[in-house]
Chains A and B, each alone.
Chain A
Amino acid sequence: MTEVRRFLADARLVAVRDLRIEFRSRVVVGQVVPFALLVLVLFGFALDADHRTLRTFASGLFWVAVLLSALLAVHRSAALEQSDGTLDALRMSGLPPAALFMGKAIAVFVQLVLLEVVLMGGLFVLYGVEVVDPALLVAAGLLAGVAVAATGTLYGALASGPGVRETLLPILLLPVLAPVLIAATRAFDDALGAAAVDGWAWTGLLAVAALIATVVGTLAHGVLIED
């Protein structure tokens, strides 16, 4: 059991470090969150719509905004290890790659949840949505957050390497997250009363995606940071 405790302690160490850096540098809070809100506003302009139309599409627009912003957050998380030789230092420290993955994924997850909360507020104000099933909303939001954070952190490790990798992250990550987008949108449709679908079934799918992403990430992250 001490191995598990050790693992959790290491993961917590990394997560706290990443969150502390975010607290100091305020990249997510100061840049990514405003970007997400901006996306919502742009949709409003582009669709030239009234509240009723926006309410119908609210969940889809919400999750597209989350995914695009998640790209930025994940990229930022990966970039922390690219400058100043910290990735080498991490490899030298003997910290298990699985714990490194878990810690970084947790930090990204926390940032994503914050993002979702703010965006939800944006939906209330800008699109006039109403919450029919808050429990479903929270469950789907959290599980989708886990799936996105875990997958993103795994692929973020690919960002450190030779060649031009910046534009690679979106084209790798977004197709993999397609089912998460579909499932989360449907679940939110149910929770916001926009469509008659079984939101909890969709949330089940999100749970499966989140689980697979976490397991694969924990196992594979070590491979991706070595050469």
Chain B
Amino acid sequence: MADRYRGGVPVVELRGAVALLGNFPALAGVDLTVESGEVVLLRGPNGAGKTTLLRLCAGLVRPESGSVEVLGHDLVVERRSVRRRVALLGHATGLYDDLTITQNVHFWARAAGLPVSEATGRVDAALLRMGLSERLLGQPVHTLSAGQRRRASLAALVVRRPELWLLDEPHAGLDQSGRDVVDGLVGDAVAVGATVLVSSHELDRVAGLGPRVVTISGGVVVADTGPADRGGSHD
């Protein structure tokens, strides 16, 4: 595979990162380095801090201490500017229930700063890629199933062409074809050189892409297989 290194600056670099949820230390000192183009699988028991870790990298959670650098931005100093370059798929849909899928995705494309002319084309392409049929597009989101909403959420993220994907249990609640769509998405992302962090319990699904597996427990990294095709671990 072609070397996708971009100037040697890691996409994600955490050193002793601590993050709080209220008074609870969800992350108690995480060390993690992710290079450009990698696919990283996050594993760990419930409550280990996987979701908080993803939200931290997205710039939504304030680092309490330690150093957090994502795509060259120092998130301890300033969190807003990194967000546009990152896509976070969380447990919530991020969609407005009363609007249709098309209206939602179009809104999110424009909100991300795309001009109208470009937005329409990308929106159509994204909806097609996510396998959402014409019939569904014109219906309000609240009438759709969880799987269809998940695809719509992903479509809204795809249009932004992010450099870093943060997927929090993307397979949960999806049927077979839905999971295929998610895997295809990860494949697409890798193909264009984006970096992907996936938190999932479904090891065998993501394994096919040869990811690195990072295990989190008690708010710290306890195991890390290291980048698979670069020989040896990097942390």
Contact B83 A92 (CB under 8 A): yes
Q: Indicate which residue in A83, A91, A94 contacts B97 across the interface (CB closer than 8 Å).
A: A83
From 1 to 36 in chain A, residues with beta carbon under 8 angstroms from any chain B beta carbon are 10, 13, 17, 20-21, 24-25
- Residues in chain B near residue A17, CB distance under 8 A: 96, 99, 103, 107
CB distance from B101 to the nearest CB of A (A): 14
- Residues in chain A near residue B83, CB distance under 8 A: 91-94
* B111 is an interface residue with CB less than 8 A from chain A: yes
Contact B84 A94 (CB under 8 A): yes
CA distance A84 to B88 in the complex (A): 14
CB distance from B76 to the nearest CB of A (A): 15
Contact A21 B99 (CB under 8 A): yes
> Which residue in chain B gives the minimum CB-CB distance to A23?
B98
A-B residue pair count with CB separations less than 8 angstroms: 70
- Residues in chain A near residue B84, CB distance under 8 A: 92-94
CB distance from A89 to the nearest CB of B (A): 4
Q: Indicate which residue in A21, A24, A92, A94 contacts B60 across the interface (CB closer than 8 Å).
A: A92
Q: Indicate which residue in B62, B94, B99 contacts A88 across the interface (CB closer than 8 Å).
A: B94
* A90 is an interface residue with CB less than 8 A from chain B: yes
- Residues in chain A near residue B140, CB distance under 8 A: 24
Known: A84-B97, A85-B93. A93 touches B111 (CB 8 A): yes
From 108 to 147 in chain B, residues with beta carbon under 8 angstroms from any chain A beta carbon are 108, 110-113, 140
- Residues in chain B near residue A162, CB distance under 8 A: 22
Contact B92 A85 (CB under 8 A): yes
Contact A84 B95 (CB under 8 A): yes
Contact A24 B62 (CB under 8 A): no
* B58 is an interface residue with CB less than 8 A from chain A: yes
- Residues in chain A near residue B86, CB distance under 8 A: 92
Known: A92-B58, A92-B88, A93-B112. A24 touches B98 (CB 8 A): yes
* A227 is an interface residue with CB less than 8 A from chain B: yes
CB distance from B215 to the nearest CB of A (A): 26
Q: Indicate which residue in B62, B94, B98, B108 contacts A227 across the interface (CB closer than 8 Å).
A: B62
> Which residue in chain B gives the minimum CB-CB distance to A12?
B110
> Which residue in chain B gives the minimum CB-CB distance to A21?
B98
* B187 is an interface residue with CB less than 8 A from chain A: no
* A95 is an interface residue with CB less than 8 A from chain B: yes
From 54 to 100 in chain A, residues with beta carbon under 8 angstroms from any chain B beta carbon are 80, 83-86, 88-95
Known: A92-B58, A92-B83. A20 touches B110 (CB 8 A): no
CA distance A209 to B58 in the complex (A): 38
- Residues in chain B near residue A25, CB distance under 8 A: 98
CB distance from A190 to the nearest CB of B (A): 41
- Residues in chain A near residue B111, CB distance under 8 A: 10, 13, 90, 93-95
CA distance A21 to B99 in the complex (A): 6
Contact A88 B96 (CB under 8 A): no
> Which residue in chain A gives the minimum CB-CB distance to B81?
A94
> Which residue in chain A gives the minimum CB-CB distance to B140?
A24
* B25 is an interface residue with CB less than 8 A from chain A: no
CA distance A10 to B140 in the complex (A): 23
From 55 to 94 in chain B, residues with beta carbon under 8 angstroms from any chain A beta carbon are 58-60, 62, 80, 83-84, 86-88, 90-94
CA distance A94 to B79 in the complex (A): 11
Q: Indicate which residue in A10, A20, A85, A227 contacts B90 across the interface (CB closer than 8 Å).
A: A85
Q: Give the interface of B toward A (CB within 8 A).
A: 22, 58-60, 62, 80, 83-84, 86-88, 90-99, 103, 107-108, 110-113, 140, 156
Chain A to chain B contacts (Cβ below 8 Å), 16 pairs: A10-B111, A13-B107, A17-B107, A21-B96, A24-B99, A24-B140, A84-B92, A84-B96, A86-B95, A86-B96, A92-B86, A92-B88, A93-B112, A94-B80, A94-B113, A95-B112
Q: Which 4 A-B pairs have the closest CB atoms?
A: A85-B92, A89-B94, A94-B84, A93-B111
Question: Given A10-B111, A13-B110, A92-B59, 15 more contacts at CB 8 Å?
Answer: A17-B103, A20-B99, A21-B96, A24-B98, A84-B93, A85-B94, A86-B92, A89-B94, A91-B80, A93-B83, A93-B111, A93-B112, A94-B83, A94-B84, A94-B111
